[in-house]
Structures are given as C-alpha cells and as structure tokens.
Amino acid sequence: MAQVQGPAPVGDALDRAVGAVLADPLLAIAVLLVSAALVLLVLLLVRRLFVTEGVALKRALGKLDQVVVLMHPNPDPDAMAAAVGVARLAELADTEPILQFPGQIRHQENRAFRTVLDLDLEPIESAMELGAQQVVLVDHNEARGFEGADRITPYAVVDHHPGDGTGSAFTDVRPDYGASASIVAEYFRQVGARPARDDPEVGMLDTTVATALLYGILADTAHLTRGCTRAEFDAAAFLYPAVDEDALDRIANPQVDQEILDVISRAIADREVNPPYAVSDVGDLSNLDAIPQAADELLTLEGVTAVVVIGEKDGMLHLSGRSRDDRVHMGNVLQTVVEELPAAEAGGHARMGGGQIPLEEMVEGEGSSEGVTREELHGRLFDALVGDV
C-alpha cells in the first residue's frame, strides 16, 4: 500500500498541468513553439558534432566563388595530388578552383606526374599573383616560398605535417597520417563520391583524381613501407576501382636527366666514408634535384646508415642529408653544422634534412677566424653525425 503513494502526487501534478495547457490555447501554442525550438537546437548541435571533415570542407568551399588551392614550394606528388583532390571537391561545391605553387616542378617524377595526369598547375612568385582572395593550403600549414607568403591567412588548411598553421574557415592537420592524399581520399568517401572509371559525372571521383591520390600516397610512404597508418591502406583500397595502372607506371618510371645520373655517379665515386656515415661533395652542378637523389642513392650503400651530399650552384652550397639511423636526427645534424655560419640555413626531420651555405662563408686556406674551409665542413659533418659536437 505504501509503495503506490510515491508517484501519485507527481501524476496529479502532471494531470493538472496538461489540463491547464489544454484549457488555454495560447499556453498550448507557447509550449509547442518552445518544444519545437528545443528539438531544432538539439538537431543543430548533433549536426555540428557529427558533421565529417569532408562535408565541412565542401560546405566551406561552397561559400566562395573562386578559391586558390596552393601547394608548397617545389610540390611533390602528394602535394599535387591533395591539390587536385581539393580542387575537385571545390568543383563539386560549384566553386572555381585555381591550382598554384611557388618554386618549380623539376624532379623527373614530379614532372611526369604533372604531364601524365595532364594537370593545370600555375607557378607564382608573389602573393600578388594569387588567383583569388581565399587560399586553401595543402600538404603544408603555413604559406612559404614566395614574396608576401607571411601575410597570407589561409581560408582552409589540409595537411599531415606538424605545425600550428590554421585556416580561418577550416583546419585539418593530421601529423600521424602518411600522406595528405589519404586525408583527401577520406573527404571523397565522406561526401559520398565513389570512384568511377567510366562515368565521372555520376561517380564524381574520376580516374585522374583517383590515380593522383594513390600516387601521392605511394610517393609519401615509400610505396606503403614507411610512415603508414591504416588510413593509407584504406584510401588505397577505396581509390583502387578508378586507378589507371598504366598512368601509375608512366609516372613511376620516367626518363632520368643525364646530369642527375652523372651527379649520382660522382656522389658514389667521390664519397668519404667514416662507417657507418658517408659525406660526398659533388662540386658544381646545374640541376639541384640531383643532390637529394644522390643522397637517396648513397643511403642504399651497405654499411652506411646516414649520408650528406653537398653540391654547389650560383655561389651557394646545397646540402641534402638522409638517415635511417635512429641515433642521427638529420635536421638537427645539419642545423648544428651551420650554427656558426651566420648566412647559412638548415633544418629538417629525423630522416631527412637540407641546408644552404653561401660560398662567402667558405674560406680558402687556414687561420681565418670566420667561416670554414670545405675540408673543415666535411669534418664538422662527420663530427655532428657521430654526435660529437
């Protein structure tokens, strides 16, 4: 008997409230309006919480008439692929994309990528040349490498490098991912675009974009062997139905410039090895792309775990370092070496780094208090590689 008395007053109160509402039509309408507003608010919150990055970016792009999709200087396949993907997403949102990049596209693989996929990419030298007010940065999160880059506030950022750069409307930086192209492939999945080889109108993700994205992933992860997450494999599987295998092969195996092979052979022949490290000075050259390629090649030498290749062009020494040695953080090594040379610059990641030293920092002979000789530079490099600095 006692147990039925608890809820009874509440039930009574509810009955009275319902009675009051039913008796007064104005009150009934007010209650209805308030409930409707509450439901709408909850729906908006849920949509905010659960909207995917791809949908959010497409929506942000759709608010513009035109947008610049900007690659980093000397774009690599991943940067070009991410740019082509974001550009297609803009088109899906009825926004005109303009693809631009600072620097040059010189590496034979990058040139083949652009040519085989017939991409319309435009070089710029200053912010004045940007084709639209709003800029999306892909594969980097802070604009660099052109006049006025530091004044750019990007509209959106899509990247997999660490950094603090953000976009005013959209930011998606995932440092754990192996490639920016994997992020962009996810966007297509999220907006419901399926890869389709024959009918791009319906499929919305055509062969060019799918092939570009897959190649970008392969290039940034050493063919899915380095720095991968599940996302790279998922993206590869998603893109597969629309991928043009013949195009992949043509990009991966381009003709190599004669000078590049010459410089690589010089780097091998003239190497100084101080096991397990190697330094090679290839002297004068005209194609700077040869230096990192020579470093890549030298790193495959048995017993060598870290290398630095030095080349000279237009009064400047260019250094490119590679490491597969956990004891050697290449970016730090190069930074240490140029530390006391005021006009020199260097930096990079654990596994790769680069630097420039103006020849004016180099001195002939001994006894100078400023600058170093070429020989001293080689010695310093070995010292830094060993960790003896």
Contact positions toward Mn ion, by CB under 5 A? 78, 139, 180, 220
Pairing of strands 352-358, 345-348: antiparallel
CA dihedral 355, 265, 220, 92 (to 10 degrees): 100
Residue 173's closest CA among 220, 143, 139?
139
Please report the DSSP string for 98-157 in residue order: EEEEES---SHHHHHHHHHTT---EEESBGGG-SSS-EEEES-SS--SSBTGGG---SEE
State which residue, 221 or 336, has the beta carbon closest to Mn ion.
221
Q: Any idea what DSSP says for residue 2?
A: G
Helices then strands, each counted (H, E), the chain: 14, 14
Omega before 123 cis (within 30°)?
Answer: no
Give the nearer residue to Mn ion in terms of CB position, either 158 or 279: 158
Cβ 65 vs Cβ 99: under 8 Å: no
- The residue among 180 and 336 lying less far from Mn ion, judged by its C-beta, is 180
Q: Residue 21 burial (CB < 10 Å; 0-12/13-18/19+)? A: middle
We find the least distance from the C-beta atom of residue 309 to Mn ion, in angstroms, to be 22
Residue 71 or 317: which CB sits closer to Mn ion? 71
CB nearer to Mn ion: give 158 or 344: 158
Q: How far is the CB of 194 from Mn ion (least distance, A)?
A: 24
> How near is the Cβ of 180 to Mn ion at its closest, in Å?
5
**Least spacing, CB of residue 31 vs Mn ion, in Å:** 55
CB of 74 to Mn ion, least distance (A): 12
Minimum distance of Mn ion from residue 47's CB (angstroms): 31
Given the complex with Mn ion, which of 172 and 220 has the nearer CB atom?
220
Closest approach of Mn ion to the CB of residue 182, in Å: 9
Would you say 141 or 305 has its CB closer to Mn ion? 141
Q: How far is the CB of 231 from Mn ion (least distance, A)?
A: 13
| Cβ atoms within 10 Å, residue 121 | 18
Nearer to Mn ion, 112 or 381 (CB): 112
Nearer to Mn ion, 80 or 384 (CB): 80
Cβ-based nearer residue to Mn ion, 101 or 277: 101
Smallest gap from residue 352 Cβ to Mn ion (A): 12
Residue 308 near residue 329 (C-beta atoms within 8 A): no
| Angstrom distance (rounded) from CA 211 to CA 190 | 19
Residue nearest Mn ion (C-beta atom) = 78
Between the alpha carbon of residue 186 and those of residues 181, 233, 302, the distances in Å are: 9, 11, 39
190-194 contacts, C-beta under 8 A, 24 or more apart: 190/52, 190/53, 190/54, 190/55, 191/54, 191/55, 191/58, 191/89, 191/92, 193/92, 194/241
Q: Identify the bridge partners of residue 285 per DSSP, sorted by sequence position.
A: none
Q: How far is the CB of 79 from Mn ion (least distance, A)?
A: 6
Q: Cβ-count burial of 32 within 10 angstroms (0-12 exposed, 13-18 middle, 19+ buried)?
A: exposed
